[in-house]
Each structure stands twice: as structure tokens, then as C-alpha cells.
Chains A and B, each alone.
Chain A
């Protein structure tokens, strides 16, 4: 039993060395299920006092294109870990591409996410920006998709090229999703 001589106080690691930590996450996927890992980890990093950059590229652009970001989809096609809601029954891969499967799977996943109190992508990005996270869009993806900054979620600071991103994230820990 710890005696009461010295107070036990949590260490929040407010020292300078720790607060210098930066995480950079490259979000390259636009499927609903693949949008969340970056958002969840990024948000967790901010809550731990870690600086965060999110860089959206290729299919990940759907997470920040205003007209698409609310309608990301989830497909069981090619995903052998997709189960029925109850038990360990897998959805046969032969059925996965059938009409109606994708909307149904998307609806189910959205509900499961909402039931946990986890926000949809736009609101999640709002929360991340309010928490100090910085969002960047990839120049090449913007050109490929023929979009300008006006088409993008307003929290995106700028459209930058790959070199800019590398420069910006000097010393950061990198995660590619």
C-alpha cells in the first residue's frame, strides 16, 4: 500500500520534449471504413497533445470533397472479414457484388459508427480542426479530380504538393492509410 507521504499526481508530460511530437497521417482511401482509422488516430493524437497533419491524397480526396464527403461507401466486396451482424457467419464473397449489398453494408456500418457516438466524416473533421489538427490536400489529386480549393471542405488549409508535405512534416511520425 502506498503511504500518503508523497501525493500521487498523474504525469501529463507537459515538458517541452514531449509536446514537440508531431504525427502526420496520409489518408489515401475513400471507403467509409478506411476513412475512420486516420480520423480516430489523428483525433487521439490531438487529445494527447501531439501535433497533427492530415494529408489527403488519391481516393482519400473523397473525405474532403464537399459533395462527396458525406456519402462515403462501404463494400463487402473483396472483404472476407465482413460478417453478418450476429455470430461469426461470413457473407459469401459470391454475394458481395450483388445489387443492394453495398448500400446495405454502408447503412449498417454507418449505424454501428453512430451508435458509438462517433461522428460522420464532416463533423469529425470539424472536431479535429477545432482541436488544432491541420488538413492538407494533395496537388496532384486536386488536378486529377479537377477540383479547386472551393470544392474542398473549408477546414483544408491549402492544396500542396508532395515536396511541401515532406518539408512540412520534417521530424514527424508518419502513417500511411
Chain B
């Protein structure tokens, strides 16, 4: 498993760069992850990322965009604005989670 260093944090990642160890993540690191992919974080972005972390903890897998919007109560259009083009993947990356596996 590759190890990479982002903002002085040594983290385990998959071949693409998504984090693979849940507990290596913290919000300081998430700021750097967001910056690395050019995403500017807002209060709403943080709420969504925190929801994903909690949901992963209880469900065992990364929520899809549909789930983030229906279960988490986030506006889909808003998520596309906050995490342009590929919201689910970008959010998973910033949240230190694997890419969502579900289709919908």
C-alpha cells in the first residue's frame, strides 16, 4: 500500500491517492487534501464532510451523492457547486474515505 506525505502528514493511500486508513484523517489534514485538489472549503462543505465520516463509521462504506443528499439532507445542486464536476469523489477524497462503490 503506498504511503504519501501531504502537509507533513504521512498517510496510507490507494494507487489513486484516496486514503485507506480511517483514523489517519483529521480536519487539519482535510484542509490540505481539499487544497491539493483545488476545493475551497465552506461551513457547508465541512458539514457534508463530517456527515460522510459519520455515515462511513456506521455503514462501513462511503455514502453516494444520492445518500448524502437524502440521508444527510444536503442539496444536490449545492454539492455540485461546492465540489465541482465530481462531487462524490472529491468529497470522499477530502473526507479521507474510499471512492463510493454504489451506482446511485
Structural contact, A1 and B37, CB atoms closer than 8 A = no
Structural contact, A7 and B36, CB atoms closer than 8 A = yes
CB-nearest residue of chain A to B102: A117
Task: Enumerate A1-35 residues with CB–CB distance to B below 8 Å.
Answer: 1-2, 4, 6-12, 14, 19
Task: Enumerate A82-123 residues with CB–CB distance to B below 8 Å.
Answer: 116-119
B78 vs chain A, min Cβ distance (A): 9
Structural contact, B2 and A2, CB atoms closer than 8 A = yes
Q: Which of A11, A12, A117 contacts B104 (CB 8 A)?
A: A117
Structural contact, B102 and A131, CB atoms closer than 8 A = no
B59 vs chain A, min Cβ distance (A): 10
Q: Which of A7, A8, A14 contacts B85 (CB 8 A)?
A: A14
Say whether B28 faces chain A, with CB atoms less than 8 Å apart: no
Q: Which residues of A contact B93 (CB under 8 A)?
A: 10
Given contacts A2-B3, A10-B37, A132-B80, contact A119 B66 (CB under 8 A): yes
**Interface positions of A (Cβ within 8 A of B):** 1-2, 4, 6-12, 14, 19, 40, 43-44, 47-49, 116-119, 124, 127, 130-132
Ordered by A's residue number, 29 sampled pairs between the chains whose C-beta atoms are within 8 Å are A1-B2, A1-B3, A7-B4, A7-B6, A7-B17, A7-B36, A8-B4, A8-B13, A8-B15, A8-B17, A9-B6, A9-B17, A9-B36, A9-B37, A10-B16, A10-B37, A12-B86, A12-B90, A14-B84, A19-B85, A40-B104, A47-B65, A49-B84, A119-B66, A119-B70, A119-B104, A124-B104, A130-B75, A131-B77
